[in-house]
């Protein structure tokens, strides 16, 4: 287009503001539309409590007893949220995380209860890790003071199989042990659970935004940190390598965690694979917005809708969010 075409009498002929003039025009041309069907709501079920307990670092989010699960899920289902990521907080922990794969464990009982009450109307995803179940709080079996990769894989496979037995739709291994997707796929297939899918926490960055979650799930490491298994947040190529490994090992869905500071990774993952891409907007992302909103510094509803829409715009097909209930309420009452 030459200069004569874009100008008329010295003023711009092309005016992008025409497309922004009214709300109705803007609605017509909106490129990214957030849907309640995009959302996954994390749920914390705690063994040995009678009443819901609010998580101190995540105001508005609760650990709930099993008896409240159906009521809680029904409320979210009525808002249109149909997918749930289940985290269990067990009564007893040990260094081998044995309470993670008990047939009557808290996650296993929760999944059974959900299947009995909701059948195939909802989608269940279970987090597969050791950290909520180990006395030391690490994501693997500790040998010589480090999380031993191959010993941990055996336990992760047992946990995933026990979740499949309980009836989950998807298992989501989050320990960042090498080969975890392959090991779990094999264990599921060997036990006739070839219909159970795997959502790989493929690029789980070693983020400073997990602190409120560790308070929520009682999984703060007793010693050291998780930097020898979670990914450095500085590295793009390494993240893509992790993702391609999970694709090769048989993951059905790829996850990036956290979401908002890693929109570049979400975008690049979207370009690198045809698999669905899931973004996990983590506890720290929730708490930062919540804290600022409680101070009156930002409008929580507007900020949450902006952040979550941008996560989708970057390329996420599925978004795990602690704001799922609020987003659903907003989408139901535009």
- Shortest distance, position 145 Cβ to Zn ion, whole Å: 17
Q: How far apart are CA 15 and CA 195, in angstroms?
A: 52
Catalytic, 227? Answer no
Sorted by sequence, the CB contacts under 8 Å of residue 328 that are 6+ apart come out as 36, 39, 76, 79, 80, 81
- Shortest distance, position 282 Cβ to Zn ion, whole Å: 13
- Write the CA distances from 149 to 140, 153, 156, 231, 243, integer angstroms: 7, 6, 10, 15, 18
Decide if residue 153 touches Zn ion (CB under 5 A). Answer: no
Span near Zn ion by CB under 5 A; candidates 12-20, 105-113, 139-147, 324-332: 139-147
Catalytic, 257? Answer yes
- Shortest distance, position 87 Cβ to Zn ion, whole Å: 10
Give yes or no for a contact between 73 and 114, defined as CB atoms under 8 angstroms apart: yes
Strands 83-89 and 62-64: unpaired
The SS3 of residue 111 is helix
Catalytic position from the list 93, 204, 290, 326: 204
Decide if residue 76 touches Zn ion (CB under 5 A). Answer: no
Residue of 39, 69, 131, 260 interacting with Zn ion (CB under 5 A): 131
**129 or 184: whose CB is closer to Zn ion?**
129
Give yes or no for a contact between 233 and 204, defined as CB atoms under 8 angstroms apart: no
Residue of 43, 81, 129, 266 interacting with Zn ion (CB under 5 A): 129
Decide if residue 231 touches Zn ion (CB under 5 A). Answer: no
- Shortest distance, position 23 Cβ to Zn ion, whole Å: 45
Catalytic position from the list 93, 182, 183, 257: 257
Look at the chain and count its residues.
334
Decide if residue 216 touches Zn ion (CB under 5 A). Answer: no
Residue of 139, 159, 247, 279 interacting with Zn ion (CB under 5 A): 139
Please give the residue ranges that form the binding site for Zn ion (CB under 5 A): 129, 131, 139
């Amino acid at each position: 287009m030459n200069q004569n075409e874009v100008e008329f009498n010295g003023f711009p002929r092309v005016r992008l503001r025409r497309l922004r003039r009214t709300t109705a025009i803007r609605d017509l041309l909106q490129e990214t539309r957030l849907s309640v069907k995009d959302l996954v709501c994390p749920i914390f079920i705690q063994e040995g409590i009678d009443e819901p307990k609010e998580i101190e670092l995540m105001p508005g989010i609760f650990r709930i007893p099993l008896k409240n699960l159906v009521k809680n899920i029904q409320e979210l289902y009525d808002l249109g949220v149909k997918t749930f990521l289940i985290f269990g907080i067990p009564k007893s922990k040990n260094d081998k995380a044995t309470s993670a794969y008990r047939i009557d464990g808290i996650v296993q009982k929760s999944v059974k209860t959900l299947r009995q009450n909701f059948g195939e109307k909802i989608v269940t995803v279970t987090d597969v890790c050791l950290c909520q179940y180990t006395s030391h709080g690490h994501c693997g079996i500790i040998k010589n003071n480090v999380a031993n990769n191959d010993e941990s894989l055996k336990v992760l496979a047992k946990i995933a199989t026990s979740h499949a037995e309980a009836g989950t739709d998807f298992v989501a291994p989050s320990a960042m042990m090498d080969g975890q997707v392959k090991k779990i796929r094999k264990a599921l297939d060997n036990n006739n659970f070839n219909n159970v899918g795997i959502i790989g926490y493929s690029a789980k960055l070693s983020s400073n935004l997990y602190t409120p979650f560790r308070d929520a799930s009682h999984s703060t490491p007793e010693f050291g940190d998780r930097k020898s298994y979670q990914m450095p947040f500085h590295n793009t190529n390494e993240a893509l390598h992790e993702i391609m490994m999970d694709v090769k090992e048989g993951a059905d869905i790829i996850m990036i965690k956290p979401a908002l500071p890693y929109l570049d990774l979400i975008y690049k993952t979207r370009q690198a694979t045809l698999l669905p891409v899931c973004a996990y907007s983590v506890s720290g992302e929730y708490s930062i917005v919540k804290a600022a909103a409680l101070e009156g510094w930002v409008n929580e509803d507007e900020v949450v809708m902006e952040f979550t829409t941008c996560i989708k715009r970057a390329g996420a097909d599925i978004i795990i969010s602690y704001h799922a209930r609020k987003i659903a309420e907003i989408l139901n009452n535009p």
